[in-house]
Chain A
Amino acid sequence: MSDESKATVRQYARNAYEQLGLPRLIIIAFLLSLFTLAVIMRMDLSILIKDSITRIGMNGILVLAMLPTLACGVGLNFGLPVGVIAGLVGAVTSMNWGLKGFAGFFAAMAIAIPLAVIAGYLYAMLLERVQGQEMMVGTYVGFSVVSGMCMFWLLAPYRNPAMIFALGGKGLRTTITLDRTFGKVLNDFLGFSIFDVYIPTGLLVFMGVFYVLIALFFKSKAGLAMRTVGSNPMYARSSGINVQRMRTLGVTLSTVLAAIGILVYSQSYGFVQLYTAPLTAAFPAVASVLIGGASLRKATIGHALIGTILFHTLLTIALPVTQTVLQGADISEIARMIMSNGMIIYALTRAERR
Chain B
Amino acid sequence: MSEQSTAQVETPARGLGAGISSILRNWSVPIFFLAISIAGIAAARLDINYLINEVVGRFGRNAFLVISLIIPVMAGLGLNFGIVIGAMAGQTALVIVTHYRVEGLAGFMLATVISVPIAMLLGWLVGKTLNQAKGREMVTSMIMGFFANGIYQLVFLVLLGTLIPMKDPVLILRSGIGLRNTIDLIGLSYSLDRAMDWLWNGFVFTSIGATRLGPWRFPLCTLFIIAILCALTTFITRTKLGQEMRAVGQDMHIAQVAGINVDRTRIIAIMMSTVLAAWGQLIFLQNIGTFNTYSSHEQVGMFSVAAILVGGATTRRATIWNAIVGTLLFHTLFVVSPLAGQRLFGVSQVGEYFRSFLAYGVIAVALALHAWQGRASKSK
Docked pose: A16 CA to B154 CA in angstroms: 31
Docked pose: A147 CA to B351 CA in angstroms: 11
Could you say which residues of chain A place their CB within 8 Å of the CB of B368? Answer: 126, 129-130, 133, 137, 141
Contact at A345–B143, with CB atoms within 8 Å?
yes
Could you say which residues of chain A place their CB within 8 Å of the CB of B144? Answer: 341, 345
Chain A residue with the shortest CB-CB distance to B147 = A341
Docked pose: A348 CA to B367 CA in angstroms: 19
B175 touches A (CB below 8 Å): yes
Closest CB-CB distance, A235 to chain B, in whole Å?
A: 20
Could you say which residues of chain A place their CB within 8 Å of the CB of B359? Answer: 147
Contact at B363–A140, with CB atoms within 8 Å?
yes
A132 touches B (CB below 8 Å): yes
A154 touches B (CB below 8 Å): yes
Q: Which of B135, B147, B370: most chain A CB closer than 10 A?
A: B147
Closest CB-CB distance, B177 to chain A, in whole Å?
A: 6
Could you say which residues of chain A place their CB within 8 Å of the CB of B181? Answer: none
Contact at B175–A328, with CB atoms within 8 Å?
yes
Could you say which residues of chain B place their CB within 8 Å of the CB of A133? Answer: 138, 367-368, 370-371
Contact at B371–A129, with CB atoms within 8 Å?
yes
Contacts between chains A and B (CB distance < 8 A), count: 132
Contact at A337–B147, with CB atoms within 8 Å?
yes
Contact at B158–A348, with CB atoms within 8 Å?
no
B32 touches A (CB below 8 Å): no
Docked pose: A328 CA to B173 CA in angstroms: 13
Docked pose: A336 CA to B153 CA in angstroms: 12
Contact at A345–B175, with CB atoms within 8 Å?
no
A194 touches B (CB below 8 Å): no
Closest CB-CB distance, B297 to chain A, in whole Å?
A: 14
Contact at A329–B178, with CB atoms within 8 Å?
yes
Closest CB-CB distance, B256 to chain A, in whole Å?
A: 17
- B150 in complex: contacting residue of A141, A326, A338, CB < 8 Å: A338
Name which of B20-28, B61-69, B205-213, B342-350 contacts chain A: B342-350
Tier of interface size on chain B: 35 or more
Chain A residue with the shortest CB-CB distance to B355 = A147
Contact at A334–B153, with CB atoms within 8 Å?
yes
Docked pose: A343 CA to B354 CA in angstroms: 33
Chain A residue with the shortest CB-CB distance to B79 = A136
Contact at A348–B139, with CB atoms within 8 Å?
yes
**Interface size counted on chain A using CB atoms at 8 A:** 44
Contact at A337–B357, with CB atoms within 8 Å?
no
- A148 in complex: contacting residue of B153, B346, B361, CB < 8 Å: B361
Contact with A along B350-375 (1 / 0, CB 8 A): 10011011011101100110111011
B75 touches A (CB below 8 Å): no
Chain B residue with the shortest CB-CB distance to A336 = B150
- B151 in complex: contacting residue of A137, A326, A338, A344, CB < 8 Å: A338
Could you say which residues of chain A place their CB within 8 Å of the CB of B296? Answer: none
- Given A131-B375, A144-B364, A331-B158, are A154 and B350 also a contact pair (CB < 8 Å)? yes
Contact at B347–A130, with CB atoms within 8 Å?
no
Closest CB-CB distance, B236 to chain A, in whole Å?
A: 26
A182 touches B (CB below 8 Å): no
Could you say which residues of chain B place their CB within 8 Å of the CB of A335? Answer: 150
Contact with B along A136-166 (1 / 0, CB 8 A): 1101110110111011001100000000000
Contact at A147–B353, with CB atoms within 8 Å?
yes
Contact at A329–B132, with CB atoms within 8 Å?
no
Closest CB-CB distance, A7 to chain B, in whole Å?
A: 34
- From 188 to 207 in chain B, residues with beta carbon under 8 angstroms from any chain A beta carbon are none
A233 touches B (CB below 8 Å): no
Could you say which residues of chain B place their CB within 8 Å of the CB of A171? Answer: 347, 349
- B353 in complex: contacting residue of A78, A150, A283, A338, CB < 8 Å: A150
Contact at B175–A143, with CB atoms within 8 Å?
no
- Given A170-B347, A348-B139, A351-B132, are A130 and B371 also a contact pair (CB < 8 Å)? yes
Could you say which residues of chain A place their CB within 8 Å of the CB of B347? Answer: 154-155, 170-171
Q: 10 other contacts beyond A133-B368, A150-B357, with CB at 8 A cut-off?
A: A129-B372, A132-B135, A136-B367, A144-B360, A147-B353, A155-B350, A170-B346, A328-B175, A337-B150, A344-B143
Can you list 9 A-B pairs with a CB-CB distance of less than 8 A? A129-B372, A130-B375, A140-B360, A170-B346, A338-B147, A341-B146, A345-B140, A345-B147, A349-B132
Which 8 A-B pairs give the minimum distances between C-beta atoms? A337-B150, A130-B371, A140-B364, A341-B147, A338-B150, A349-B132, A150-B353, A144-B360
